[in-house]
Structure 1
């Protein structure tokens, strides 16, 4: 791991370094879409926390290069024993790793084997022992920290089997409380709710949902995601008389992002107000890209609409810097998938853009309706068009909304402040 930057150590910790390490556990690592995880890791490291990463397997289809750029190169994968192997190899692996566990865990495991009690959900015992040893560095006290309930559930089952005794925390984002739970039994998370020491939903909405699922309120703390405010240069957005008003939408083209409603509302805006000088840039790729392209072609919007597809980070930033209004009308997808609190909206607000979005999931906790942006009902094209028209015809509101948005991000969604809040929460259970 990269050396600790003592100069960045938080004032709240005093002269003492943290008394515990944080072990991040992931099902697949490093996934391209989980920038928020890597930023959080960086924030804790800058406070002075030693970070370890353990994953079940390595992400190969869409890996991120951010962990390497941030200096997180000590990543361990519990690959051994995950495939089919003969009995002798599994027994040998089990014996090699058994006594790497904490003494109490080793004793419990031996007792379970002797009494022929179950110790898991069908995963080979040798694999679970390997994973348990990786999650608990013997030389240091550790807190096991998971993003998404699906990862937390894996560790919770190890704790229930007696293989892990370190504190467990889990961050819930949205997918894990919506799409993942569809068609699953109602008690799918019971082991996690019982075994976790802290449950950390990213929004108050998911906080309430965890209570509905039976979690103890004493275990739950809302933990916001954050962005590095210093990396986003605020600029007040002012429309010049000789230049168009620019709308922009950034997001992977999946149903929950609501891209079709952006296009339909923009087309309606142009039909209602043909003299408005407006443009729309849409950035992102994904499974619905061709459907969105066909929809856009059908409206024949010409140069007013550009579908950029997937572009490099620097080009995204350039387009955002040229824009005035960020549009992301998120919806509940047919499979139940929902947003958490979109990081793309946080970044747009940090840059000074006004926001148009929906009353969806945790978005109203981020966007102050009427002050930093406008919120409309999901799938309401007429209301979305009206919001776009209101800001197009009153561009003076854009600047004030941008200032309010930046203030919200600095106060409640700054990466450093959220890292300190997370550190304080982990300290309470370490």
Structure 2
């Protein structure tokens, strides 16, 4: 069956720098409701002329999808999972029909034999498709299983791989430092989403991370134009998975403190996750059930509307007990673009976007009283909200426009897909 034409539609972006670049994007799961940044990134690269094939190692489990997915031209291939060692040998034999694997470097074969059989089989499947479709480079998101598969597949084909490191794949207690070191050292380039992450990786992994560079997640500012509709007085919103690192227990406590102090406010909480039952119980125990709406997961256009109409967005992120933490939440950038004032915490890369008193307010993580005070300041002072929103929009336009961030990533991918020497010289 003929492959669909994936030629990107012309756009206002300076299309052309990506001409000839054919990249396989390796993801653990695509699409994923919470990972809009990957969709934004692929759209930005396609507008610059890159031809992309998406590999998803797991079938999606989300029942709702964002409308922006329809604007991605890249075909998606769901890579079969086969957990037996014998499947790896069968996959290797199938690939041998296309490539002379007698010249496979000994280290690559050793890596395949040492890998989990399921990862090895998926890597060989990716390598087969990449060979047949003429891909020149592989890029993975998150330094976990997607990069494992991309690294193995790239080794088989003799091409380069890169990956984007985020947060859980760096900080969570489950991360194997030696495994991550090998991936950092073997990649032709590594990008991550904040200067904080760059510093952490370089300090932790030394020379293996010397070439890591920061490329922020970008927003399409045509879609996130500054909102003009009236904001709802007293309306606080928060968006994210209902998990410990989001700090939503502190937010519930802050709402209770403000309500007890006579503030007429309401919290719109968008998202779902394992902490939902605990949060509902906390809301009820605090006597603020009438002041909190649990919306569950919403599509991107609905989230945008909730954020645009709110008087303030709260992102009270904390360091999880398992080491997990946010990198730089996309919803913070979205709120800043829309002109909604933000209150957050100085966790990981957040202070690179939220400059206290200039583009938002920062409070200590885990401090519900300080969070309540900051939210109260914004709710009670329209002038402060406008000043913060003005500063935030200016910063987003300067640093987080996807036209800018996709250009920087394109430069990384072009250099990395050319040759190891050129990739190192561009670092």
Question: Is the partner of 2:156 in helix, strand or coil?
Answer: coil
Pair 60,396 (structure 1): closer, same or farther in 2 beyond 3 Å: closer
Matched, 1:279 2:279: no
* Residues in 2 aligned to 1:183 and 1:250: alpha-carbon distance in whole angstroms: 25
Unpaired runs of 5+ residues, structure 1, are: none
Partner of 1:249: 238
Give the number of equivalent residue pairs: 410
* Residues in 2 aligned to 1:188 and 1:429: alpha-carbon distance in whole angstroms: 21
Which residue of 307, 317, 325 corresponds with 2:294?
Answer: 307
Partner of 2:423: none
How big is each residue's C-alpha offset from its partner over 1:302-343, in whole Å with a ceiling of 9 and x where there is no partner? 543333333444443332232111111011111111101101
Where has structure 1 moved over 6 Å in runs of 4 or more? 110-113, 115-118, 236-239
Partner of 1:108: 103
Shift of 1:153: 2.8
* Residues in 2 aligned to 1:116 and 1:424: alpha-carbon distance in whole angstroms: 32
Partner of 2:71: 70
Shift of 1:410: 1.2
Partner of 2:225: 233
Q: TM-score, normalised by structure 2?
A: 0.86
Pair 284,28 (structure 1): closer, same or farther in 2 beyond 3 Å: closer
Shift of 1:265: 1.1
* Residues in 2 aligned to 1:319 and 1:334: alpha-carbon distance in whole angstroms: 30
Shift of 1:97: 1.8
Pair 237,246 (structure 1): closer, same or farther in 2 beyond 3 Å: farther
* Residues in 2 aligned to 1:144 and 1:410: alpha-carbon distance in whole angstroms: 29
Question: Is the partner of 2:206 in helix, strand or coil?
Answer: coil
Pair 237,265 (structure 1): closer, same or farther in 2 beyond 3 Å: farther
Aligned runs of 1:70-89 on 2, under 5 Å?
Answer: 70-72=71-73, 74-79=75-80, 82-84=82-84
Aligned runs of 1:11-160 on 2, under 5 Å?
Answer: 13=17, 18-60=19-61, 64=65, 69-72=70-73, 74-79=75-80, 82-84=82-84, 93-101=91-99, 106-109=101-104, 119-123=113-117, 128-134=123-129, 136-137=130-131, 140=134, 142-150=136-144, 151-159=146-154
- Across the aligned residues of Structure 1 and Structure 2, the Cα RMSD in angstroms comes to 2.8
Partner of 1:330: 317
How big is each residue's C-alpha offset from its partner over 1:33-77, in whole Å with a ceiling of 9 and x where there is no partner? 222111111110111111111233322455746685124462223
Shift of 1:164: 3.1
Pair 67,131 (structure 1): closer, same or farther in 2 beyond 3 Å: farther
Partner of 1:5: 9
Pair 25,312 (structure 1): closer, same or farther in 2 beyond 3 Å: closer
Matched, 1:191 2:178: no
* Residues in 2 aligned to 1:351 and 1:8: alpha-carbon distance in whole angstroms: 21
Contact 2:16 2:49 in 1 (8 A): no
Which segment is superposed worse, 294-303 or 170-179?
Answer: 294-303
Pair 49,277 (structure 1): closer, same or farther in 2 beyond 3 Å: same
* Residues in 1 aligned to 2:303 and 2:121: alpha-carbon distance in whole angstroms: 45
Question: Is the partner of 1:25 in helix, strand or coil?
Answer: strand
Matched, 1:349 2:336: yes
How big is each residue's C-alpha offset from its partner over 1:210-237, in whole Å with a ceiling of 9 and x where there is no partner? 2122344542110100111111231368
Q: TM-score, normalised by structure 1?
A: 0.86
Which segment is superposed worse, 61-70 or 26-35?
Answer: 61-70
Unpaired runs of 5+ residues, structure 2, are: 418-427
Partner of 1:379: 366
Q: Which has the larger radius of gyration?
A: 1
Contact 1:145 1:169 in 2 (8 A): yes
Shift of 1:168: 1.0
